[in-house]
Amino acid sequence: MSQDIWWASESFWRKNAIWITAGSFIVLIFLTFDTVDQITAGGKRVPAYSAINHRISYVFDEKRNFQVPVIGVEEPLFGKKLTEQEAAALVSHGKLTTQAKNCMNCHTLLGNGAYYAPDLTKSWLDPSWGSKEVREQQMVEFLMNPQDRLHNGLGRRMPNLGITEPEARATVAFLKWMSSIDTNGFPANFKPIDQEN
């Protein structure tokens, strides 16, 4: 009789459901802590905000077979070395600016957003900024007045979003910090700005 087979009994399947739900719940709690650890600034993959005081290079990692960001020698943004708190405040101001002006409406940040305009994850390292000496100022000027420039070969222009100079500088800090995040090689085949003298 089918009721006598243990694996066909209702109680076996009820217990199974309870154990599997409880087991998955524990795994999910563990994964949540693991993710928070990985994505917190100053953690394994996401550098501290004071990374903006340093040169960010993008170098090929033989073992992982893609380019990874490397935080190098001291090279403070706008020539001014910031404390961890000052850097955090500046990057946060930049992040709030990107949210307030809805950059994701056209761009992707770390792959999230729209595909109208280039991904901004590594835009700090974009060779179109010319040399590393003029890049910061070029970025600030571009963000404040993008409408009459064709920055790279895309053929689309970015509209003027009414970004003030302090907002533009903070956004550049946010973009510099973002370029230091280990994104497992995303975006692929990106050619970074030449940083060696």
Buried/exposed 70-85: b ≥16 CB within 10 Å, e otherwise: ebeeebebeeeebeee
Q: Which residues bind ligand HEC (CB under 6 A)?
A: 97-98, 101-103, 105-107, 116-118, 120, 123, 126, 128, 143, 149-152, 154, 156-159, 161, 163, 171
Strand partners, 60: 67
- Cβ-based nearer residue to ligand HEC, 48 or 175: 175
Give whichever of 11 and 189 is closer to ligand HEC, judged by the CB atom: 189
Calpha distance 145→181 (Å, rounded) = 27
Shortest Cβ 108–ligand HEC spacing (Å): 11
User: By C-beta, is 157 or 191 nearer to ligand HEC?
Assistant: 157
The least distance separating ligand HEC from the CB of residue 154, rounded to whole angstroms, comes to 4
Our CB check for ligand HEC shows the closer of 20 and 154 to be 154
DSSP conformational letter for 186: P
- Separation between Cα atoms, residue 185 and residue 58, nearest integer Å: 10
